[in-house]
Each structure stands twice: as C-alpha cells, then as structure tokens.
Structure 1
C-alpha cells in the first residue's frame, strides 16, 4: 500500500530546511548595516576651529539625534562606551554667488568642513574613508547650503541645513561596508 505525502508538507519541509541551514552569521534587516559588537557611542562636544562659535554645539546635537533615530546604537556620556565619535569643525565659509546691480549679495553659499573619527574602545578605526586605508585616521566631510537674503533666508538658516546634512552623512558612514 502506497502513502502519498501532501505537496504542501514537502514545500514546508524544504523551506524549513533552507531557513535553518547556511551560515549563522547572516543578519537581516537594518541590523545588518551596523557593527554587531557596538552598542554604545560616546559623542563628545564637537570642537570648533572657526569664528562661528555655535557650530560645534549645533553639530553635536544633530549627530546625536541622527544616531538615536537611524541606528541601533545608544549615545552615552560615558567615555568608556563601546566606541567614540570625535568630530571637529575645521572651516566655515560664506561666498557670494550673485549680486544685484548695486553690488548687494543676492544669492550666497555657506559651507562647512568637518573631520570625523570613529574608534572602538580598543582604538580600532571603525570609520574609513576608503576601502584601502590611507593612513589618515579621520574622514573629511564638506557640506554647503545656498541662501537668498532677499527671500528672508539667513546664514544661520543655511548653516543649520548644512549641519543637518553633515550629521546625516557622518552617521551614514557609521554603517558597515558590504
């Protein structure tokens, strides 16, 4: 007497075997983008080498917000965290793009440059600018934003846009390369 096994049971068994075999290191979803050994990040106040005194504090706040929203990492004030993200504002410029007939600035460009270095507790470099290390321990980020004073925009509003974009780019570099 022959017994027939239902086709659904065979399909379920094959799918179950496929899911349970293979490498155990596979991770799914957004967790696969981030380092598994890192749970906490210490972000000290960003050092500011420019004359615009509030850029460091504003960038620090934006980076912390981005890390908390987009990553599984927890930002902590403890310097003994699993990792440390150190940033430094190295330059800030403003240049005129177009002028009116009376030489008043019509459109301007505000730019900020930041150097960032993300290291683990043991001193290992976690953020690299290139696949092949160049010996430089920090990554340079630059961002600019255009503003038009006649439209009610200011250099501060442009700088805030640039800071938010910089924070997004810095946190994006905290993702693992694949």
Structure 2
C-alpha cells in the first residue's frame, strides 16, 4: 500500500499581487467610465415610463374586429419585448392610442374567368404615444413638428387557390404592425 502525502502549499509568486492590482483597476475603471450607460435589452427604453395604457384601437374600417385584434397584438408585444407594464388605468405613465385608417384588398392577378388569383391585403394605422403631460414619446426624424401621430402600413400577399384566406393574412399583417409600433417605442440614439 502506497501512501501519498498532500502537496505543500505553494508560496505566492511575485506576479499574483500585480494581477490582483490590475484586476481591481480594470473593475474600478469599467464602473466609473460607464456610469451613465445602461446595458441589456431594457436600455433601449425610457426609464421614466413604467406603465402604458392602451385603449381599444379605434376602427374606421368596415371589419368590426380589427381594432380589438390589433390592441391584443400590441399589448402582447409590449409585455414581451419592453420593460413596460400594460395597464387598464387611463392615469398610467403613458397612453398609446392606435387607430385603424384603412383595410383594402388589391387584386394582383386574375384567372380568365375574372376570379382573383393573387391578392394583396393592405392595412394602415395611426399610432400616438403620449405621456401624462401630453408630450409625444415616439421620436422620428421624418415626423413633421406639428404632427402627433405616426402612420404605419402593412401588406400581405395571399393566393386563395392555394388555400390562403384574407383573415389569416390580415392577422399576419396585424402582428407585423404591432411589432413595428412597439419598435418605435424604443428611444432613439
């Protein structure tokens, strides 16, 4: 039976204090130099806003359910992608108002019997994001100074012969609109 003895503790080398000092110096400089910066995905959003009130989108089209569907999609996007909390309280930190302007279908190609072969479903909405004092929170260099609303349009192509329906294509367009609206809630650099 062979017995092994534990190795004696090693004496500190001359480089250990130097490495310790360098590590401390780097950590101090990184926190001091970046004191005003935020990191992570939530750094793209305003820190002075915590809650967002999203009333049901007003619908100026003949399809009665578009406003509700868009409101649900916008609420879902805000909750998933932003640090904001959607609330039903009109006295929230901010209010995001959305209004459906148009919903149209354009025929791209037809069969010889004048049946639509390919269509574009196009929807457009206006969105306004204001804080409690009425100040515009969405920022864009292309928005005229006196305008409070952004206009978003989204289209989707469908082929009825392939089994695609207008309703599913409209839902895809609504989901894309919600993503674009919430993306514009990010702070600009």
Segments of 5+ residues of structure 2 without an aligned counterpart are 1-12
Q: What does residue 156 of structure 1 align with?
A: 167
Once the two structures are superposed, residues 44-90 of structure 1 have per-residue CA deviations (whole angstroms, 9 ceiling, x without a partner) of 00000011111100000000000011111000000000000000001
Normalising by structure 1, we get a TM-score of 0.93
Q: Does 1:143 align with 2:168?
A: no
Residues in 2 aligned to 1:80 and 1:123: alpha-carbon distance in whole angstroms? 12
Residue pairs, 1:1-178, within 5 angstroms: 4=14, 6=16, 7-22=18-33, 24-130=35-141, 133-178=144-189
Normalising by structure 2, we get a TM-score of 0.88
Shift of 1:156: 0.7
RMSD: 1.6
- Structure showing greater radius of gyration is 2
Segments of 5+ residues of structure 1 without an aligned counterpart are none
Shift of 1:132: 6.6
Report the number of matched residues.
Answer: 176
